[in-house]
Amino acid sequence: MLTQLLTKDCIQLSNFVQSWQEAIRLAANPLVRQNKIEQRYIEAMIQSIEQSGPYVVITPKVAIPHARPTDGVHALAMSLLRLQKPVFFSPNHPVFLIIVLAATDNASHLQALVDLTLVLQDSDQIDSLIACQHEDAIWEKIKQYTTKESTE
């Protein structure tokens, strides 16, 4: 399910961003271009973090920003931004991988999150994704990690 939602054309690399807000905007751009989300969904993600703190940093080096389906989601989708230098969601939360989640309801995205957990459960796998120098390499690693788990 993860590789159906997080398509290769929604994976981006960047060296550096000025702020976590900029990171979220950049990470979400492919979903806006594909009309999967509206611009207001990006602002809702940012506002949610500003109000509730860096709860989207789900494991060291990884954030999964999201907002409510009613905040402008047209289709279930994900995008990924890999940063060369971390952006800080708070002083103790350096993040290299920003994975935007756009869910259309409270349940349809859950299998993709389970698959994503398989990718992110191992810090070596996270570091391996961060080390990738091309979008295709990230895509191949995600496919490899999710396939490996499902065949064991």
Mean pLDDT for the stretch of residues 5-28:
95
pLDDT in tens, 90-129: 898 899 999 999 999 887 878 788 888 888 988 999 999 9
What's the pLDDT at 146? Answer: 79
DSSP class per residue in 15-80? S--SSHHHHHHHHHHHHHHTTSB-HHHHHHHHHHHHHH-STTEEETEEE-----GGGTB-S-EEEE
What's the pLDDT at 66? Answer: 95
Q: In terms of pTM, does the model score above 0.85?
A: yes
Topology of domain 2-151 in CATH is Mannitol-specific EII; Chain A (3.40.930)
User: How far apart, in whole angstroms, are the C-alpha atoms of residue 12 and residue 27?
Assistant: 7
For 9, the 3-state DSSP assignment is helix
pLDDT in tens, 44-68: 999 999 999 999 999 999 999 999 9
In percent, the amount of the chain with pLDDT more than 70 equals 97
Q: Is 134 a catalytic residue?
A: no
What's the pLDDT at 151? Answer: 47
Mean pLDDT for the stretch of residues 67-96:
95
Mean pLDDT for the stretch of residues 10-35:
97
Select which of 66, 74, 93, 109 is catalytic.
66
